[in-house]
Amino acid sequence: MQQIHHLIDGKPVQGTDYFETVNPATQEVLAEVASGGEAEVNAAVAAAKAAFPKWAGLPAPERAKLIRKLGDLIAKHVPEIAQTETNDCGQVIAQTGKQLIPRAADNFYYFAEMCTRVDGHTYPTPTHLNYTLFHPVGVCALISPWNVPFMTATWKVAPCLAFGNTAVLKMSELSPLTAARLGELALEAGIPAGVLNLVHGYGKEAGEPLVAHPDVRAISFTGSTATGNRIVKSAGLKKFSMELGGKSPFVIFEDADLDRALDAAVFMIFSNNGERCTAGSRILVQQSIYADFAAKFAERAKRITVGDPLDEKTIVGPMISQAHLAKVRSYIELGPKEGATLLCGGLEAPSNLPDRVKKGNYVMPTVFADVDNRMKIAQDEIFGPVACLIPFKDEAHAIELANDIAYGLSSYVWTENIGKAHRVAAAVEAGMCFVNSQNVRDLRQPFGGTKASGTGREGGTWSYEVFCEPKNIAVSM
Ligand code: NAD
């Protein structure tokens, strides 16, 4: 059995204990993974602290060269990393191989370039010249969930290292394999020992001591709102970026381009197995087109291929774990009890699964109509392929429903009326709004949410917020 170790100060470190990581499509044990605790966290933070002065002191173009090299190595190994990712977390190969892993390489290219272009601000006054410097922060804790693990890890590692920080990365215990590979590739790229450390393990044993460690200066966390809240309480005074849960509204007005809106709505709830923080999971449809939209949406959902995630044709793969499958199924069971109408999907397992994946954690793409926004299926983040279709009367009603939710991560507005598009985009309480579009990530844009979806933004210069320490220097004239 393959064993995965921690990576501390450039060396693989065995665990005192191990846990298994399981292929969610087959239930096959893929590897035994070292399970870290306070001792490993302390060693990793000490290594990151020791490596910091030299790494931060390197001229940015030299750091950039190594970071670009890491991007090259990822690009070179896309098929291998994509396959590992698909096996470890169930995201389909069409996504991991063509989108997620290649884009991870881009994350390193982007921030390699950007770290050589960090600028400052000047605020001249008659008596003083003020200017800012952006220093690295120091040791950063990077904590990642399981849904798109490699992409999320690289979103954090690339800016963190590029701006001169050192890191301790803790992946989800449910999908640690590709990040372990990232650690190896970082060393192969020539990134010095101690700059990127990895401690594997559970949230309580490894995550808690990491975020509470006094030498950790910044935390970039992606995960659930519940864990985010816990970390904010226990970590003490540190810089934070909290990328948390979502239940994003996908608003379709009667004057929308319906075919395009349908395609995007289907994509935003069923791609990535519905395990997507920015999923358009509350689909708000204007009353006048509601029945027509619901019928067409369910028709498309029924045609989605559920199956072996290693098959290029598969759109929806298995849920990450049996526990998560049970959670998703519990909401599918709840829907009709709350008064929603099941249009397709439901509790029956998909038929015609290939033998290889017959034991997988599968759920059919499920569509509920006649959903009231106050139902639990509309308010809770299900994090699976379950769509809620909610009717609305007019613009004011759409905004009211869109905002009647604890979360505020992403939002989507579909209308051909340009004024209405801008008004609704401005009024919706969310960190991001996509107009007549599905979620398209541009690395320059501020990514993140408001309300229970988090604090802080990452991407482009917004990443300064967590990974840089701005210093004002005031010179008397
Ligand atoms: P989770 O909160 O259970 O775990 C996330 C990470 O935190 C894991 O590595 C876990 O081990 C660790 N952790 C758990 N308890 C901890 C603690 N007390 N201290 C420190 N670390 C701890 O989330 P999950 O189930 O892995 O991921 C799904 C959630 O992530 C969903 O809510 C989803 O919306 C969210 N998510 C958000 C974004 C975003 O950008 N906003 C992106 C992807 C996923």
State the closest ligand 1 atom to the C-alpha of 172, by its place in the atom list counted from 1: 9
Q: At what angle do helices 149-162 and 60-76 cross, to 10 degrees?
A: 160
Task: Give the mean model confidence (pLDDT) for residues 135-156.
Answer: 98
* Spatial separation of the C-alpha atoms in residues 7 and 426, rounded to whole Å: 45
Residue 403: band (very low, low, confident or very high) from pLDDT cuts 50, 70, 90: very high
Cα of 125 from ligand 1 centre, angstroms: 45
Task: Give the mean model confidence (pLDDT) for residues 426-453.
Answer: 97
CA-only gyration radius of the chain, Å? 23
Cα of 204 from ligand 1 centre, angstroms: 12
* Spatial separation of the C-alpha atoms in residues 221 and 240, rounded to whole Å: 8
Q: Which of 241, 231, 243, 239 is nearest to 206 (CA)?
A: 231
Each residue's pLDDT tens digit, 106-137: 999 999 999 999 988 999 999 999 999 999 99
Q: What is the dihedral of CA 414, 380, 443, 219, to 10 degrees?
A: 160
State the closest ligand 1 atom to the C-alpha of 243, by its place in the atom list counted from 1: 41
Query: pTM to 2 decimals?
Result: 0.97
State the closest ligand 1 atom to the C-alpha of 201, by its place in the atom list counted from 1: 11
Please give the pLDDT value at position 155: 97
> What value of ipTM does the predicted structure carry?
0.98
Cα of 227 from ligand 1 centre, angstroms: 6
Q: Which two tokens stand for residue 8?
A: 């501390």
* Spatial separation of the C-alpha atoms in residues 52 and 61, rounded to whole Å: 17
Q: What's the whole-number average pLDDT of the chain?
A: 97
Residue 219: band (very low, low, confident or very high) from pLDDT cuts 50, 70, 90: very high
**Candidates 40, 208, 243, 465; catalytic one:** 243
Task: Give the mean model confidence (pLDDT) for residues 303-327.
Answer: 98
Each residue's pLDDT tens digit, 21-54: 999 999 999 999 999 999 999 999 999 999 999 9
Q: How many CB atoms lie within 10 A of CB 350?
A: 17
**Candidates 277, 344, 433, 468; catalytic one:** 277
Q: Which of 5, 34, 31, 13 is nearest to 201 (CA)?
A: 34
Each residue's pLDDT tens digit, 223-282: 999 999 999 999 999 999 999 999 999 999 999 999 999 999 999 999 999 999 999 999
Cα of 145 from ligand 1 centre, angstroms: 4
Asked if residues 380 and 402 have their Cβ atoms less than 8 Å apart, the reply is no
Please give the pLDDT value at position 159: 98
Give, for 408, the enclosing helix (H) or strand (E): strand 407-408
Please give the pLDDT value at position 1: 87
- Ligand 1: residues with CB < 6 A are 143-147, 152, 170-173, 202-204, 207-208, 211, 222-224, 227, 230-231, 243-246, 277, 381, 383, 409, 449, 454
Task: Give the mean model confidence (pLDDT) for residues 439-461.
Answer: 96
At residue 349, does pLDDT exceed 90?
no
Give, for 143, the enclosing helix (H) or strand (E): strand 139-143
Q: How many CB atoms lie within 10 A of CB 289?
A: 18
Residue 316: band (very low, low, confident or very high) from pLDDT cuts 50, 70, 90: very high
State the closest ligand 1 atom to the C-alpha of 245, by its place in the atom list counted from 1: 34
Active-site annotation holds for 277: yes
Each residue's pLDDT tens digit, 386-395: 999 999 999 9
Spatial CB neighbours of 458, under 8 Å, sequence gap ≥ 6 = 155, 156, 159, 220, 241, 243, 446, 447, 448, 465, 466
Each residue's pLDDT tens digit, 9-18: 999 999 999 9
Each residue's pLDDT tens digit, 67-118: 999 999 999 999 999 999 999 999 999 999 999 999 999 999 999 999 999 9
Cα of 36 from ligand 1 centre, angstroms: 17
Query: Alpha carbon of 437 to those of 139, 200, 256, 414: distances in Å?
Result: 37, 37, 11, 8
Smallest CA separation from ligand 1 atom 20, residue? 207
Smallest CA separation from ligand 1 atom 35, residue? 223
State the closest ligand 1 atom to the C-alpha of 227, by its place in the atom list counted from 1: 2
- Name the β-bridge partners of 472: 132
Each residue's pLDDT tens digit, 194-213: 999 999 999 999 999 999 99
Cα of 395 from ligand 1 centre, angstroms: 34
Q: Which two tokens stand for residue 358?
A: 């017959």
Please give the pLDDT value at position 211: 98
Task: Give the mean model confidence (pLDDT) for residues 444-466.
Answer: 96
Please give the pLDDT value at position 150: 98
**Parallel/antiparallel/unpaired status of strands 366-369 and 6-8:** unpaired
Active-site annotation holds for 85: no
Q: How many CB atoms lie within 10 A of CB 219?
A: 23
